[in-house]
Amino acid sequence: MTTSLVTMHKQKKIAMIAHDNKKPALLEWARFNRELLAQHLLFATGTTGQILSSELDLNIHRFASGPWGGDQQVGAKIVEGDIDFIIFFWDPLEPQPHDVDVKALLRIAVVYNIPTACNRASADFIISSPLMGKEYNRIVNVKLPGNQ
């Protein structure tokens, strides 16, 4: 294992995900933070991306729906260095048919030292951080693609 620095540029690559019961809360949060989000590259899983894109008129790259592989696609993008942080309004009280995928995504986020907000308070803290408008060197203690 080697330690690498991954530069998160001023324009962040943000993945947004929400379970069904949390989609209205994520939409409300994103609406409140729309101007700031518009300055960054946005990604989202299926229905969440469709809702955010149409309601907020934002350009959002959409992955598949979570149960259809979207969580795994986000995880792959983390490994490839294409996601800087995750806003994931997940519902811990509702059983999810793709719970294994959710756990795998959160595991990859921790392994690659990706800031991850799982509720509105943590999302507020991340997006209001002074680091949002700066480059940041994230320390990663795994072998990164391309680093032999």
Catalytic residue, chosen from 20, 71, 91, 101, is 71
Domains within the chain, CATH numbers bracketed:
4-140 (3.40.50.1380)
Other Cβ atoms less than 10 A from the Cβ of 74: the count is 27
User: What per-residue confidence (pLDDT) applies to 142?
Assistant: 74
- Per the DSSP assignment, residues forming a β-bridge with 140 are 4
DSSP secondary structure letter of residue 20: G
Whole-structure pTM value:
0.89
Nearest by Cα to 72 from 45, 33, 93: 45
User: What per-residue confidence (pLDDT) applies to 148?
Assistant: 44
User: What per-residue confidence (pLDDT) applies to 144?
Assistant: 59
Identity at 49, one-letter amino acid code: G
- Helical spans, DSSP H, in 38-81: 46-56, 70-79
69 backbone φψ class: left, alpha, beta (φ>0; ψ -120 to 50): left
Q: Answer whether 18's CB lies under 8 Å from 25's CB.
A: yes
99 is catalytic: no
pLDDT tens for each residue of the chain, 148 residues long: 678 889 999 999 999 999 889 999 999 999 999 999 999 999 998 899 999 999 999 999 988 777 777 788 999 999 999 999 999 998 776 766 666 777 888 999 999 999 999 999 999 999 999 999 999 999 998 765 665 4
Distance, in Å, from the CA atom of 143 to the CA atom of 36, rounded to the nearest integer, reads 32
